[in-house]
Chains A and B, each alone.
Chain A
Amino acid sequence: EPEVTQTPSHQVTQMGQEVILRCVPISNHLYFYWYRQILGQKVEFLVSFYNNEISEKSEIFDDQFSVERPDGSNFTLKIRSTKLEDSAMYFCASRKGTSGFNEQFFGPGTRLTVL
């Protein structure tokens, strides 16, 4: 069964450093998302991406964040200058979107620890 994959599973970085989180969405899906979950809190929407551009972003997704689909399979989230409060689990999700409205499938997540 196709699934969303994410790398790395755990990333440790120093405050102020840049990180890139990588995702491979399900191959025939058209909509891609990033969410984050701070420990003990709810899953929060960051950004959605469709047709090679950002469709919607939350207030959390400020100028320090960017997303890219560099090729036909990868979808990346870049944080330019990490802060302590960026420590969280980051989940990538994808949705088929070809007929009607359908569910999002999530990857296993990347745990980001900013020291």
Chain B
Amino acid sequence: EDQVTQSPEALRLQEGESSSLNCSYTVSGLRGLFWYRQDPGKGPEFLFTLYSAGEEKEKERLKATLTKKESFLHITAPKPEDSATYLCAVAYYGGATNKLIFGTGTLLAVQP
């Protein structure tokens, strides 16, 4: 069964304390891996798309990387406004219209 697993479930950091979130996946034929940010009561906000192993994308304090089995979202010197749930999702070849399979997310809290 295709699965997406995120760890840790929750992470508390001090402002400026860098860390990484993990997303491991078991799908046949990855077509794309996506990172989203979700604030409470809101819809997922697109951050990055990664297509192949070795690929990296950066945006401000966030950097996403991809291997054949997992992806990492690195957060460098986080600020309180980075507090949110970070969702990982995958699309795979064989799906008719690239539906996304989501993980359960990592709830990040950054304390000042």
- CB within 8 Å of B: which residues of A? 4, 6, 31, 33, 35, 41-45, 48, 50, 55-56, 58, 89, 91, 95, 101-109, 111
- The reply to whether A104 and B43 form a contact with Cβ atoms under 8 Å apart is no
> Which listed residue (A33, A41, A101, A111) contacts B31, Cβ 8 A?
A101
**Shortest Cβ distance from B98 into chain A, in angstroms?**
7
**Shortest Cβ distance from A17 into chain B, in angstroms?**
23
Complex CA gap A91/B43 in Å reads 7
- CB within 8 Å of A: which residues of B? 31-32, 34, 36, 41-46, 49, 51, 87, 89, 91, 95-105
Interface SS of chain A: helix, strand, loop or mixed? strand
**Shortest Cβ distance from A21 into chain B, in angstroms?**
13
| Most A C-beta atoms less than 10 A away, residue of B43, B51, B97, B100 | B43
The 4 closest A-B pairs by CB, nearest first: A48-B97, A106-B43, A55-B97, A56-B96
Complex CA gap A95/B49 in Å reads 13
Residues of B within 8 A of A50 (CB): 97
Residues of B within 8 A of A109 (CB): 41-43
Residues of A within 8 A of B95 (CB): 56
- The reply to whether A101 and B43 form a contact with Cβ atoms under 8 Å apart is no
Pick 20 A–B contacts, CB within 8 A, sort by A: A4-B43, A6-B43, A33-B97, A33-B99, A35-B100, A43-B44, A45-B99, A55-B96, A56-B96, A95-B98, A101-B32, A102-B49, A103-B32, A103-B46, A103-B49, A105-B46, A106-B44, A107-B43, A108-B43, A111-B41
Residues of B within 8 A of A56 (CB): 95-97, 99
> Which listed residue (A45, A58, A106, A111) contacts B45, Cβ 8 A?
A106
> Which listed residue (A42, A48, A107) contacts B102, Cβ 8 A?
A42
- The reply to whether A43 and B87 form a contact with Cβ atoms under 8 Å apart is yes
Residues of A within 8 A of B102 (CB): 42-44
